[in-house]
Structures are given as C-alpha cells and as structure tokens.
Structure 1
Amino acid sequence: MSVEPPTDLQPDDVFGPLTRVDVDPLPWLATHREAGPVARLDLFGNPVWLVTRHADVRAVLGDTATFSNDFAHLAAADDDGDLGLSDPGGLGFRDPPDHTRLRRMLAPAFTARSIAALEPAVRRVVDECLDAVAAAGPGVDLVSVFADQVPALVIGELLGVPRADQVDFAALAAGRFDLLQSIVAPLDSAAQSLVLLRDLVARERKDPGTGLLGDLVREHGDTVDDEELAGLVDGLLVGGHETTASMLALSTLLLLRDPAAADRLRRDPAAVQGAVEELLRHLTVVQVAFPRFARADTVLAGQPVAAGELVLCSLAGADRDPRWAADLEELDLSRPALQHLAFGHGIHHCLGAPLARLELQVALPALLARFPDLRVADPAWQPAFRQRSIVFGLESLPVSW
C-alpha cells in the first residue's frame, strides 16, 4: 500500500527521520544513507548531524567519551533560545557516573532470572486483556483495548503503581514522543508526568510497596532523592509502555496483512522468538536515539563536528542499511536474528529490552490463537500512523473476528 508523507515535509527538514510512508522510513532517509555517512540538517539555524549507517550509528552510540547525553546541553540551548525546557530526569539524558549509579539501581529488576519470574504475571495480564477484547467484540480498536493495555499493566505491576494511577501515566506517555505540535512537546509532557510521580514517590516513602519502586525506596532511599526517583520511574513507565504498545499494534497489522505468517506464529512456538526479532528490526519503532552532543571538536566518519553540536542517530535508517545485511527493506519472519538497533546500543541500550521481548513473545501468538479469524474490520480502512513522533505508532487498529 502507498501512503503519501505530509506535503509540508521538505527534503532537508529535521523531521525527515521521523516520518514514514506506511511502516517504511521515507526514501529520503535511504538517499541520505547512500550519499554519505553523515548528513547535515538544520534546527533553528543550527547544524544537526544525521547518522544513518549501521556501523556509524553503533560507533556513535558506543562512544561516550566523544558524545554526551547530558541534559545540560539542552539546558544551554534553553538559556540561549528560551525554549522553556525542564529536566525530564531518568537515564536517557544522563552521562556516567550519574548514569552508571542510577542504572545499577534498576539492573537487578531486569536480569534474566527476574524477567523469567515475571512471565506468569505477563501471561495473566495478556489473558486478562484478551478477555476484555472478547467481551468488547466482535469488533474493537485493538490499540486501545489490547496494545495499550498490556504494557501499561505489566510495567505497572513491575513498579507497584496502583492501577488507578496507570491511566493518567499512560495518557502522558503517549504525548512524550510527539513532535507534531512542538519540538519541545515531549519535555512538556515529561514535566506533567513528574508532577504525578513526585506524589507517588512521596507515598512510597511513607509506606513502601512490594514493587520495584518500593524496593528502590527500601534499598536506596538514603542515597537517591525524590527527583531522581521520580525521573527513574518516569523513564520506566514511558519506555515500558509506549514502545511496546506501538510494537504490539504495528506487528499485529503486519501479521494481518500476511495470513501465512500469522498462522505460523499461531501454530509453531519455535518460530515466535525469531519472528519477534525481525519485527523489532523491521519496525524499529524508536526511530532515533536520544540526541548526542559532541564534547569537543571531533571528526565523525570524515565530517568535522564542532563541540556542542547535536548528532542524531537514525535507528530506523541503520536497521535497513544494506551494508550491514541484504534485503533489509523486506520483512522476513524466517530471517536469522540480526544484531539490530531497535533497543539502541552501548550504555544506553534499553534496560527493559528483555521485558519488551517477553511481552511480544507472549502477547502476539496468544492474540492470534484466541482469535484465529482476526482481521481488519473494513477492507477499505486506511491506517493513520503517527508522523513526526520519536516513537512510530498506529493511532488505531479496528479489527473484527
């Protein structure tokens, strides 16, 4: 199917890496990738260096000595440009040693043993959500009833967030990555979320619960303040919800377009893990990594980059780089697993990647098995995708069975 990109998108627009044609990155991105390893874009008249090739993206993401994630760089832009930014907290905008210290606090919850212990809870959540789909059917919007619900309930259970609070957090998470209205809209959303989370952290300080947040308060309460705790929980809520929700919805759409592939996942448990990895690579829903800033004047793949200039790594472009592997524009669910960048790379590789994989590996085959004749409700329906969003997604998926 062919879907035209927004007509106001120009070839040198900084939003190019965040815009797709159906589920595919703009051909503009591949053109830049073939023309050279680094391309110049402009943001408010300042250079932004776009990196699109797999090897170069890995090199940037793995080089914390040359490139920084520190929010202070954006704060400096705030001073110069009066953007009204506030620190979102969390791991994404932190460099070592702060990043190392904070990530170490969270790491025990995401070990292989910890994730395996969560599998029964994930299966219970998926079954509960499938029951809700069945009760609402035989026609529903799968995004709102299933794809949004599964990760919200799973991450809420992991953290110990009361279900009453999860609705508010999920709504804020959806706006965290949307640049359609404003370049700073995600940081506005972060500020709103942190207001809610400070109250949650204060409650946990008084009476620590049984979830991860309660564990953090008990084990690290004397060494981490409320702002840092709120930022950590915010990062887990947002990262654990929006990305997995988008993957569930988009993966279901692609599987419904390919009944043979859907049937294979339904019937062959051994095929599920490899199929999920290929869906992760092909969709790469986190389209760009957190922005990096050059710590000092440097040269990136032959391109001089001045100190303080922004480097933007296109994960979606890198995961389709023909220099890395062949036929990457095609979705091949039988493809041997590749070392894709859907979860990033280096010290900022997504901490929750094992949990996201588990949710996808449980939810997709369970959905297909529960509703073997699942289909798009209206053959004439045209999907509405989120454009200019850091996390690519699907607005709705009306299905019937």
Structure 2
Amino acid sequence: MSAKDYVEKDYYKVLGVPKDATAAEIKKTYRKLAREFHPDANKGDAKAEERFKDISEAYDVLSDEKRRKEYDEARSLFAGGGFRPGGAGAAGGFDFGDLFNGGSPGGGGIGDVFGGLFNRGGRQAAQPRRGADVETEVTLNFEEAVDGATVPLRMTSQAACRACAGTGAKAGTTPRVCPTCVGAGTVSRGQGAFALSEPCRDCKGRGMIVDDPCTVCHGSGRASSARTMQVRIPAGVQDGQRIRLKGKGAQGERGGQPGDLYVSVHVDPHPVFGRKGDNLTVTVPVSFPEAALGGTIEVPTLNGPAVKLKLPPGSANGLTMRARGKGATRKDGTRGDLLVTVEVTVPKHVTGEALTALEQYREATASDDPRAALFKAAEGA
C-alpha cells in the first residue's frame, strides 16, 4: 500500500469505531462485520465482497499494535489540514504526486520519509498471515449438554486451494519469481536513507507471477474449503454458551497460524428434567396421604438409577428436597445436585371407601380453619 493510501484511508471509519477504540472493541466490531459481509453469506454480491475486503484491510492494520501506531503517526502529520489532494492549479492546493515525490522525477519528497515509517528497511519478504476466526453453531440434547459429547461439525472457510496446493498455478505448472520485486512482494523507490515501499504492481504483492492460472481459484491460491471435524463439547455446557477452540479456524497464509473456532451451543429442553446452574431440577407428584403422613418416595435421575428420599410429615406443596451429586457435571469433574420439588396431587374423582374416609376426615378437622391466619392478617393490615 502506498503512503498516499495510508493518509487518505480512514480505517476507523471503515470499521465504524472511534480512534481511541481498544483492541477488544476493534476485534468485536470486525467479527460482526465480517460475518455480515463474508462472501459465503453474500454469494454473487460484488459490493459485499468489496466491503469485506475493506473491512479485512482495516482490521489488518488496526489489530496490529505496531502498524496501528505507524498509521496514526502518518495521519497525524496531515491532521492540520495544510495539505489537500488536488492539482497544482487548485487554489491553495498541492498535487499529491508532487508532495510525495518532492515535485521532481528524482524523488526526495515526503514519500521517502514515509517509506521508513511503513516498512523501515525497504524491501521485505511477504509476512505470514494468521487465518481467520470461524464461527459455527451446534445443537445438543439435554443429556449431551450435561455429560459432554463429541459432535461432528461441518465448516466452510478460506484455505489453500487443493487443486494447486495454494500456488495459484494450473496443475503441471509452477509460478515464477517476480522479476520486478525478486520475490519480495514489495518494491522501493526514493534515495538516501529513506525509501517508499509499495506492493509490487506486477505480482500484486505475492512475490510470484502465475502465467497459467489454476482453473479453480483463478490464480489466487485460496479457495473455499468444506471440512468436517470431530469437536469435543465439555460436560456441563449451558444453552447459549460460546466455546473457543484455539487453532481450529481457517488456515493461515504463508505459514501463518490458523485462526480460532467459536462454537455457539444450543441445548434442547428435556421433558422431565430442568437445569439451574450446576444443579438439575425435577418436579415429583406425591399423594395427599404421603404429604400429610410422610414416607419414602422414589425419584428418577438423569441417566442413572432412581434414588429414595425421605418425605417429612406435613410436607407442603412446593417443598424442595436435595439429592446430592445427581446434578450436572462441573469443570472439575464433580457433580451438582438434583433439586426435587414436591407437587401434591388431588384426585379428580373419589368414590367408595376413599370418599367415606375423606368425609370422616373433613368432619374430624372441621374446627381447623386453614384460612383463619389469612383473614387475621388481612384485618390487621
């Protein structure tokens, strides 16, 4: 990229972040925009593809602390408004070409200084580039979320073209070293201790020239790659949780590290059990005699044998008991508890001896008004 581009392009505006944005804010905004304008999500949309390139270019500069500092320094030199693009005949204006070339074919202008700012040292080989982060989703059933599971994930990302092994050249041919930049991908011009370094126009910064392009990637060396990988989802994962798998994203370029894979987890509900943090929940119906007299009740557990709990006499509807160690698996391998809520059931139809017994019970407890305390409290209010 030329120094002129550094001065004219506002990468903060491209990403829509303030100039004092933190690295985390820049990364978060980039991910959101990258998902929105990614070519895979906007096939055939040239504008979206161009927007994606601008976003990626801006992120490449602003995500690197050193490059961001140099970019800010370069733009600050023109913050006062003393220089403006335009022809030499414009009122009060300067020709940007003259400004950077020193007004003469021999150079010696500000561009020479910027060469030191942008590339310090002149010609350099193309640098490794980290692969892009990839985001995907997975849906687990309730048991898989509690105990953990290994699931297959199919992902599509940019990787080295398989047809040409990333060279960009058609099978049976090989690219040649660019004679202009001698494989560096950049060219320098200027004089003295400073030089302006720009991407080589002949090889477009790749350092190699492809005479017979690959028919699959059309000479770019990159192509969409679909792959299926087995991913282990840890036990105890919760609905809506986002898991990061380091190094499982898109492949890097020129030996760069791969990106990361982010998996958003969705959990299907269970017909019997619920979840409250590391604890599981279940509602167990009990009869009126069991609630009144107490006793031992059996309670189902998730993927395990039933447990027996002692129900105390006079148990009210909504009472919660605890079966320890029967909940969800924690990160340290221990398990939470099973929270058992009592639901007293009332029969819809009562006949025979049961009806007679209930009538007798009602007569025996007629003097006990369960609503007496309610009315007393209401009158006191």
User: TM-score, with normalisation over the residues of structure 2?
Assistant: 0.22
- The structure that is helix-richer by fraction is 1
- The structure that is strand-richer by fraction is 2
Larger C-alpha radius of gyration, 1 or 2? 2
